[in-house]
Structure 1
Amino acid sequence: MSPNRPSVYNDAPSMYLRLQRLRFAPLASPLVIEKANTNDTSFGLPGNPKPDPAVAKTCQALQQKYGSKVALKRSQHCETVAAENWSMAAQLSPGCVFEPANKEDVAGGLAIVVKYKTKFAVRGGGHMPVPGASNIDDGVLFSMTNLNKMQLTQNQTVAQLDPGLRWLEVYNWISTFGLGVAGGRFAPVGVSGLLLGGGISFFGSRIGWASNQLANLEVVLANSTIVNANANENPDLFWALKGGSNNFGIVTRFDVKTFPLGQLYGGQSTYESRHLAAIMDAAASYSIVGGGSDDIDSAITPSIQVVPATGAINPLLIGYRVGSENKPAAFANFSRIPTLSTTNGIHETLASALGLTIATGDRNQRQLFMAIGTKAGPDSVRMTNETFWKTLKDMPKLANVQNLTLTMSPQLLSKHFLETARASGGDPMDFEPGNQGVLMNLIGSAWDHEEDDELVYKYSKYFLDTLVKKSKAKGLYYPVVYINDASLSEKPFKTFGKDGSSLKRLKQIRNRYDSQPVFQKLLPGGFKLD
């Protein structure tokens, strides 16, 4: 950090000591927080739905046609598949599970669901923590696990990826060809959800959103026809699917552009809590124009993890740079900070690096994401961190939530990232690059028990609302939401395009391809256009 640069969090050491002494003890004058709307629960579900008599008929019809590809409610296999969502809060109880083996199965299964007007969900990797986004109570769950093929085409310039894949297995496969694709930063993330939500990768400053690297999508429409969507065929649908989530069809294949990828430097580092201020200062310096983010081959994800029950504070950094340069200049401010543990070094492949640093997730906790944008720069990093600590102090009851871990991460979408996204043919997000890009400020929560849902949700909403209020007052507000980091209390599509202009276009495209509309009414989970 430059000796003349003001500290992003000057009193972090003293704050840490105060937190350790307080252990989040009750305040003398506790803050009164508006009660969350529990009619629209912590995660957006309206409670247990009434059983739909059409579900049993639909499941019977599916089983009659597809046999062992269908598992009925209360069967061991149905229960096993239903529990495969990353977040326990998203592990619902479908009336049956349908596991198609190819695109024809998907089309035929969808026709049966539509015939009986039965609600359904579609799951690729199941990483999105929003309940109902990739599972359903008393409906049909399309589990895409058996659609898991990968192949290279067009002289290895395009990788054809099925929707049941997860990114780590894609990276392991494609690295054998000396190639890479833009995909998820974490091992459990699925191909389908990431790409349909835009997708932040480690290559964003060079290629934009991961979805900007799509060459084609194979899609089953509401009427069960199978079409391609690309720059020449159904180009409006192609644009909509690069961030429009599950509102247009069921994608049965993603054709993704490849690029040469060999060695890269980086890994995951953990730090002692006394280095918190230095980590956040380094993140702030990286985010500015003229900082490390100008190196378009580099990317970082800084985070602070807090365990309210113990007061433990764990600064983390995940960062990578393409190439064989050891300790590249882009990471200079981080390299000066002593680590508690690190996997930093030269890695032969991204797959080997992620295999060392990212756990696959045990799926034994409840999860919640919320996120909001602010203008990138040191002032935003400072403001976000101050807001995090203040809101934690305001809610001492969090210490009673069993095994709660809160993670705050100011994720940089650099000016290069957003400019490249626009230059790559565009997408529904269409975030304005501005002078320095955007910080997508994520608050993530993991905890054990359903009875704590409301309190955890209330804290996350309080953090976000406080950050929005402060950022507006300081002129740092940037009203955009990354859909894959959002909760259902947020409305990502209203933030897409200038003044929300993309939403109108998305609805027009939806009406063109799905006039009923099946993917609004019968597929109710996730983020809807209406």
Structure 2
Amino acid sequence: MPSPQRVALFAILLGGALATGPPSSKNCSKVCESVSKLYPSEIVFPSSPGFQTVQESYWNLFQREAAPSCFFQPTTSEHVSKAITQVVQEDCHFSIKGGGHSSNVGASSITGGFQFDLAKLREFKVSDDKKSVTVGPGWRWGELLQQLEPLGVIAVGGRDAGVGVPGFVFGDIVLADGSLVTANQTSHPDLFKALLGGGAHNFDITTALKLELHPYDGMWGGYVLQKGDQIDHVFAAYDKFFHKLQKDQKGHMILDITRVNGSIAAVEFIGYPELVQNPPLYDSIYALSSSANTLRLANYTDLAAEMAVVTNSRGLRNTYRTLTIEYDAELLREIFDTWAEITEPHAAVITASLDINVITSQMRNRSSRTIKNTYGLGGATNQLIIVMFSLSWDDGAQDTTSHRLVQDLGNSVESLADQVGKLKRFRCMNYAHIEQDVIGSFGDSNKKLLKHVARTYDPHGVFQWLQPGGFKLDGQKS
């Protein structure tokens, strides 16, 4: 079990005081050897031919550069249970990799520790009534969609084909003591609710996921591209789309503005979940002077694969930062102007993007009514925008500059939004920088609930201290 000192520190952390951080792991090589005797075909050592291949399965170059004592690729929940028991007994740091798509260093990677790689947990079972599917965390959204679409059903999930399934949903899990439980709305509902906000970085290792399925026969979507000289028209068109969205809740669109080699371009990624040609919701976008347009009737599989190609920064150094604002057309334009000014001096070596995602009150409230979560977004009637800044580069000499740049972007834009009373508390975990207090952004009552659940299911603080990556319950990070 974790040392008494660590247990005491965890108790302080959950009580509200800030502890100093986890001690270093010492016995991870021993754990790797022990687990390899139990499951020799599922351990990949640094000397193994496949070690580099597994490292390269991470999306972010920062994570690829981590070198664990070994990768463990279990094929059953029982294997995970045995391994986590060994890890805890030896006080070994560990990390958990699902799809490996995080932008944050150490989120799903570790140097010198024990690395769980869930890529071979590949269960796939559709219920007889086709209302749900149970899958392992080794699936990525693109390949999962390919399995579901021929059955006339679809699951709500990632928009990028290359993103792993477990970063979004939960189901069967392994706790710190090795016990296997199912977390859903009727079994361990407190843990299930906590997972839908606090994430598996704080409570467990997910080994199977149950997804709700919906009837499906295709959709309308694609992307539309404009050059930078159209940016005024783009924002005007977005404002018209936004106001139409209040009446037609079916559609969605992401506005992505990117500077590549000094040139700015805007892309609208569009998805409408019905076989409707040119839905009127996007009339203002159709009217733009565009350099490319792929809008068509298509499968979700094709649209997710297209987005993965267009937005591809796999194998580069990547970092994100996010904030949430109440919708304001003038503020959005000021955010763009600030982004353009701050990123321009670095355009030759750093690719910068500004993403604008709308989250309407109807979307938030419908989600909160269906499945209780800890985001703290339900009940309000205002319309929100999740803003994401992303930077990509390939030269390690730019690491310090990029880190400072994404901080400057976040601080400057938060100040802008705060000055006009439009800055909101919520920070989206999938888009957040490791230095942002994501858990705190859910609100005091939800943070208190998450701590209570952690005390209940992980009383010794294994997932707070032995698993240093991710967003911790008091903003404590690796």
Give the TM-score of the pair, scaled to structure 1: 0.82
2:150 paired with 1:176? yes
2:464 paired with 1:513? no
Map 1:20-419 to 2 at 5 A.
52-91=25-64, 92-195=66-169, 217-245=171-199, 246-288=201-243, 291-307=244-260, 310-347=261-298, 349-359=299-309, 361=312, 363-393=314-344, 396=345, 398-401=346-349, 404-419=350-365
Q: Secondary structure at the match of 1:525?
A: coil
Q: State the AA in 1 paired with 2:129.
A: N
Asked if 2 retains the 8 angstrom alpha-carbon contact of 1:97 and 1:141, the reply is yes
Shift of 1:357: 4.3
1:190-238, CA deviations, whole angstroms, 9 ceiling, x for partnerless residues? 1001236xxxxxxxxxxxxxxxxxxxx1110111010111122111001
Q: State the AA in 2 paired with 1:300.
A: M
Q: State the AA in 1 paired with 2:330.
A: D
Residue matched to 2:6: none
Q: Secondary structure at the match of 1:436?
A: coil
TM-aligned CA distance change 1:518 to 1:52, over 3 Å: closer
1:214-265, CA deviations, whole angstroms, 9 ceiling, x for partnerless residues? xxx1110111010111122111001011121121101111101111111211
Residue matched to 1:479: 425
Q: State the AA in 2 paired with 1:260.
A: P
Residue matched to 2:16: none
Structure 1 unaligned spans of 5+: 1-45, 197-216
Residue matched to 1:522: 466
1:275-296, CA deviations, whole angstroms, 9 ceiling, x for partnerless residues? 22212222222224xx234312
Q: State the AA in 2 paired with 1:105.
A: H
Shift of 1:479: 1.7
1:320-361, CA deviations, whole angstroms, 9 ceiling, x for partnerless residues? 1111221111111101113211220111x2112323443184
Which residue of the other structure, out of 385, 388, 396, is the alignment partner of 1:442? 388
Question: C-alpha distance in 2, partners of 1:433/1:440?
Answer: 18
Question: C-alpha distance in 1, partners of 2:293/2:91?
Answer: 52
Question: C-alpha distance in 1, partners of 2:312/2:43?
Answer: 27
Shift of 1:153: 1.2
Question: C-alpha distance in 1, partners of 2:382/2:278?
Answer: 24
Asked if 2 retains the 8 angstrom alpha-carbon contact of 1:285 and 1:378, the reply is no
Question: C-alpha distance in 1, partners of 2:363/2:23?
Answer: 45
Question: C-alpha distance in 1, partners of 2:77/2:197?
Answer: 22
Question: C-alpha distance in 2, partners of 1:73/1:344?
Answer: 46
TM-aligned CA distance change 1:139 to 1:451, over 3 Å: same
TM-aligned CA distance change 1:432 to 1:257, over 3 Å: closer
Asked if 1 retains the 8 angstrom alpha-carbon contact of 2:25 and 2:91, the reply is no
TM-aligned CA distance change 1:242 to 1:154, over 3 Å: farther
Question: C-alpha distance in 2, partners of 1:421/1:284?
Answer: 24
Residue matched to 2:400: 454
Residue matched to 2:368: 422
Asked if 1 retains the 8 angstrom alpha-carbon contact of 2:161 and 2:301, the reply is no
Q: Secondary structure at the match of 2:265?
A: strand
Asked if 1 retains the 8 angstrom alpha-carbon contact of 2:318 and 2:392, the reply is yes
Q: Secondary structure at the match of 2:270?
A: strand
Q: State the AA in 1 paired with 2:413.
A: L
TM-aligned CA distance change 1:52 to 1:354, over 3 Å: closer
Shift of 1:61: 0.5
Asked if 2 retains the 8 angstrom alpha-carbon contact of 1:86 and 1:361, the reply is no
Residue matched to 2:7: none
Asked if 1 retains the 8 angstrom alpha-carbon contact of 2:343 and 2:352, the reply is no
Aligned residues: 451
Q: Percent identity?
A: 24
Question: C-alpha distance in 2, partners of 1:188/1:103?
Answer: 24
1:30-84, CA deviations, whole angstroms, 9 ceiling, x for partnerless residues? xxxxxxxxxxxxxxxx9xx998441111111011111021111243322321232
2:448 paired with 1:495? no
Residue matched to 2:10: none
Question: C-alpha distance in 2, partners of 1:407/1:382?
Answer: 15
Question: C-alpha distance in 2, partners of 1:146/1:243?
Answer: 25
Asked if 1 retains the 8 angstrom alpha-carbon contact of 2:159 and 2:307, the reply is no
Question: C-alpha distance in 2, partners of 1:363/1:78?
Answer: 19
Q: Secondary structure at the match of 1:242?
A: helix
Question: C-alpha distance in 2, partners of 1:250/1:180?
Answer: 25
Structure 2 unaligned spans of 5+: 1-19
Q: Secondary structure at the match of 1:441?
A: strand
TM-aligned CA distance change 1:399 to 1:346, over 3 Å: closer
Q: Secondary structure at the match of 1:110?
A: helix
Asked if 2 retains the 8 angstrom alpha-carbon contact of 1:121 and 1:523, the reply is yes
Q: Secondary structure at the match of 2:355?
A: strand
